[in-house]
Amino acid sequence: MLIPYLALCGRIILLGWERILVKKLGEKSDSISGTFLFFALGTIFLLPTLFFVDVVINASILFYVTLSSFVYSIAFWLYVKSLSDGEASLVSPLYNFNVFFLLILAVIFLGEKISLFKLLGLLFLFYGVSFLNRKRNIIESFKAILLDKSCQYMIVASLLIAVGRTIDGNAIKITPPILYAFYLNVGISLFLLTYIMIKRNISTTIKLFKEKTKIATFSGGLNAYSYLFLLIAFTGIEVSIAEPASMTAMILTVILAGKILKEDIKERLLGVAIMLMGLWLLFI
């Protein structure tokens, strides 16, 4: 039972660093090319893990992988674009809105009820968001978030990621986490490469890799293993514990954004703390 908890710790650390590297990868670069490198290099990093599982594929696995790959291709293109265009300490916390969207999907499609704790959680979540771009009052703060393009990209990305997580939950019931993570990276890479080739933009992708080889490689590795660690954590830890715990990574991201990217994070750290309280309440 120790392995899932170690995986969760690894997830938190890698995810915190991942967003800083993704921002550096996407800055002044083509977002589609950056997203492709993010997953294509991640696929290479996952190749050694295949020695630990029996490689199998069937119609059911192929269905889940194709569906989730398509959803995640769009989601992470928006994710990379958001981090590239906006401040990491501003847009990264909005990634965690996927929990809010997961709750809404559960209420609509699974008939789950919204409890008092969940209502309080939503209030804390939205109140915390108002600290990310603080204005004269909470209404003005929300308007500043909603009218910011990079924030819009991350909010839509978080919605699509919520859909993807729902697919993942069913997929790992029939597929080992290692194998599913590898297949998913391959699928996303193929979707993005197809788009790049249709747009005849392969030269831009090659140029980006040459210019940012180290950043692209490190971000790809962090992405691959942070996701794999999440899947492994789910095998031994309830989602109600693992998911909000992994979201503490946004504290690390905000701190690193202040240290490395020199962003102003004073009020944003408070907002992140309030959001985390809300996220935990959503899972009670």
Each as own residue / partner, the long-range contacts of residues 203-208 (CB below 8 Å, 24 or more positions apart, any chain) are 204/30, 204/33, 205/30, 205/33, 205/36, 205/37, 208/29, 208/30, 208/33, 208/34, 208/37
pTM of the model: 0.87
Closest to 7 (Cα-Cα) out of 218, 206, 241 = 241
Give the number of other Cβ atoms within 10 Å of residue 200's Cβ. Answer: 8
Q: 109 pLDDT band (50/70/90 cuts)?
A: low
Average pLDDT over residues 74-90: 92
pLDDT confidence of 110, banded at 50, 70, 90? low
Q: Which residues of 211-239 are buried (b: 16+ CB within 10 A; e: fewer)?
A: ebeebbbbbbbbbbbbbbbbbbbbeebee
pLDDT tier at 112, thresholds 50, 70, 90: low
* pLDDT given at position 54: 87
pLDDT one-digit tens code per residue, 35-68: 999 999 999 999 998 888 888 888 988 999 999 9
Q: Is the dihedral of CA 274, 280, 283, 284 positive or negative?
A: negative
**How far is CA 124 from each of CA 141, 189, 280, rounded to the nearest angstrom?**
15, 37, 10
178, 3 contact by CB (below 8 A): no
